[in-house]
Chains A and B, each alone.
Chain A
């Protein structure tokens, strides 16, 4: 997952320390490469994979550790499921970017197949793209597991598109879909009637003008703020083609076209600035407050300073109400109607995984319908398996088990699901925001965009 936390340097130091300590169990690199080639060619029976996994003994599972709910689920549900097969597992909490750094630095220092320190990593977006561009992934394994039967990968199947493209980067079966997350805005029904809450960015603008100081969004480059802006750019796309032009590779798009596409969205962001939290209404009293993280925005929302919260994950409203983090009156709203960004997160195996067979077996164990059902019920992570591939009885269990969507319906969300922007554009959009909005730069918009674009390949 592309989550970002502070204290990264310390975390990276800790990772390097773990990696140094973990050095002793480096396997024979030739044997590891040979296993990889034979497995990817379909020459290894699954029983033999399980047997090798047991002889490898342990799997090093790295994941973003910022969700307490997930951390508990991994320890209480995932650990016994993996250990039941006869392999051990270490769950390592870390920032995903640090794990990517670790993998790349290991490969750069000559620790190739079989001699790295990461077996499985929870990942998506730019982090996946980085590993993929650096040829640091195990290979196309996702359709070779027993659980693969429950996932849509066939390009002819419309349900497969969310599995085949990760922020515009083709996944090519190099990562296993694990949990889907849709971006939603939330209101407290005690303060804003969900039925009258804005459903488009245009309506949101009228709302903030009528209620100055009661709205703000997370500052990019935090991914929550970036996603809010991507959704805006889809709606204000001057060609009314929504997300379509934002999916392709930056090189094919070109900077002039990019500037033209995002121009109206950034004008919108400048227009609403005086009406945001701390923006001072019509008399510009000061720069608006853009909370630095999703947690900071949630704190202001709960404290009653602003009337909207935003996050990835349609079920976490229910989870947070049950845990007491939200008051019971909080509701998801459909916003924007034009398209609510949904993306998938995955489990991937690095090329230099020390226990590749154990990694495959562990990912398989976490990709069964039971595992996805448990993740849905216990912590509200939307399943990545294709419900159409389940028998009717199992499907009914999934539908019955889904937590309360608190104000929206599955159909309404599914109907409006749109993909994330191409991972290669994220930095450029963030950079334009920082200069054009946060910095209030006096330079022309086109100059700013050109600079942000050049820095992509700096």
Chain B
């Protein structure tokens, strides 16, 4: 009886969050799913259920190219920001001269919106940007057009620069918080028992922050995989990412193309979900291997 009442209290307590999540997240997802399967009477499409929109999307070469680029733009910055963010957090885990200032500066990009990051990258790295103009004024390049192309190219350097600008500090903060938490003294214990600094780092400090690293990199990857504005603004016209392709279809003048856009969205959601689930699975196996669960 008592346990039952407890459960009711939990359900009631979670109700506000569940309601908001269902309304704002699950609802639209179901609508998108229905539209991608051909149920969109507002746009004059009523052929539910059909898989032809999925067949059309998955069968096109543009989809495969966009998928490769989406993975590329998502995975590379995730690896770089994880490595750099963890390294910074480790380097700054004990106060050193000037580290307070450095930490404050590192935290700054987290509060700056991505679009501002994009403007910063354009102002600096565009061919008419600050760096190109300075190099031109110094005579290092013959014209601003000779400055190597960082933005608007398939290489995606501009896109990835913005991601790194935000995500290295993000990873740094998450990992730093984990380092500062309970158990900071274990490293000293290990050292006093004779472990070398490297061994203490590898066997004591790092394992303690792995959950934080996994969380940070999961969030970073999920964002990079699904974001639209940054690749739209700083990527090439073609090739570009899946969200940009989806938005293009969503914005087509002919509203009866919306189901195709929704099929894109469902595929993006599915791929991103599968990748994240696989990553979590690997992590859990690692945890089990260490005797945690």
Residues of A that sit less than 8 Å from B by CB: 2, 4, 6-8, 97, 100, 104-105, 107-108, 125-126, 129-130, 133-134, 213, 219, 221, 278, 286-287, 289-290, 292, 296, 299-300, 303-305, 423, 426-427, 430, 434-435, 438-440, 455-458
Contacts and interface: CB of A to CB of B under 8 A. Distances in A.
B42 interface: yes
B193 interface: no
Interface stretch (B148-156, B169-177, B203-211): B148-156
B113 to A, nearest CB: 11
A213 B145 contact: yes
A219 B238 CA distance: 10
A134 B145 contact: no
A299 B151 CA distance: 14
Interface magnitude class on chain B: 35 or more
A126 B145 CA distance: 38
Contacts of B248: 221, 434
Given A108-B42, A287-B154, A438-B238, A4 B145 contact: no
A336 to B, nearest CB: 23
A412 to B, nearest CB: 31
A100 B252 CA distance: 13
B31 to A, nearest CB: 10
B229 A304 contact: no
Nearest to B122: A299
Nearest to A426: B253
A299 B152 CA distance: 14
Given A4-B251, A458-B56, A278 B152 contact: yes
B152 A105 contact: no
Nearest to A425: B253
A427 B260 CA distance: 14
A52 to B, nearest CB: 30
Contacts of A126: 253-254
26 contacts: A4-B251, A8-B250, A97-B251, A100-B255, A105-B42, A108-B42, A126-B253, A126-B254, A219-B237, A221-B248, A278-B149, A278-B153, A286-B153, A287-B236, A292-B232, A300-B126, A304-B128, A305-B128, A423-B253, A427-B252, A430-B252, A435-B62, A439-B238, A439-B239, A455-B257, A458-B256
A6 B128 contact: no
Nearest to A108: B42
Given A108-B42, A292-B237, A287 B153 contact: yes
Given A4-B251, A458-B260, A104 B238 contact: no
B44 interface: yes
B72 interface: no
- The winner among B144, B154, B250, B252 for most chain A CB atoms within 10 A is B252
A2 B144 CA distance: 34
Contact of B144 (A8, A219, A305): A305
Contacts of B253: 2, 125-126, 129-130, 423, 426-427
Interface of B: 41-44, 56, 62, 122, 126-128, 144-145, 149, 152-154, 228-229, 232-233, 236-239, 247-248, 250-257, 260
Nearest to B133: A303
A327 to B, nearest CB: 14
Contacts of A133: 44
Contact of A134 (B44, B56, B247): B44
A125 B253 CA distance: 9
Given A130-B253, A219-B237, A426-B253, 6 more contacts: A4-B251, A130-B255, A289-B149, A427-B254, A434-B238, A458-B254
Top 8 nearest A-B pairs by Cβ distance?
Answer: A303-B128, A126-B253, A438-B238, A108-B42, A438-B237, A305-B128, A439-B238, A219-B237
Nearest to B256: A458
B42 A104 contact: yes
A289 B56 contact: no
Contacts of A427: 252-254, 257
A165 to B, nearest CB: 17
Contact of B128 (A107, A213, A300, A440): A300
A216 to B, nearest CB: 10
B233 A8 contact: no
A130 B144 CA distance: 45
B179 to A, nearest CB: 35
Nearest to B127: A305
Contacts of A434: 237-238, 248
A330 to B, nearest CB: 16
Contacts of B247: 8
Nearest to B65: A439
Contacts of A292: 232-233, 237
Nearest to B253: A126
A175 to B, nearest CB: 17
Contacts of B237: 219, 287, 290, 292, 434, 438
Contacts of B228: 6
Contacts of A213: 145
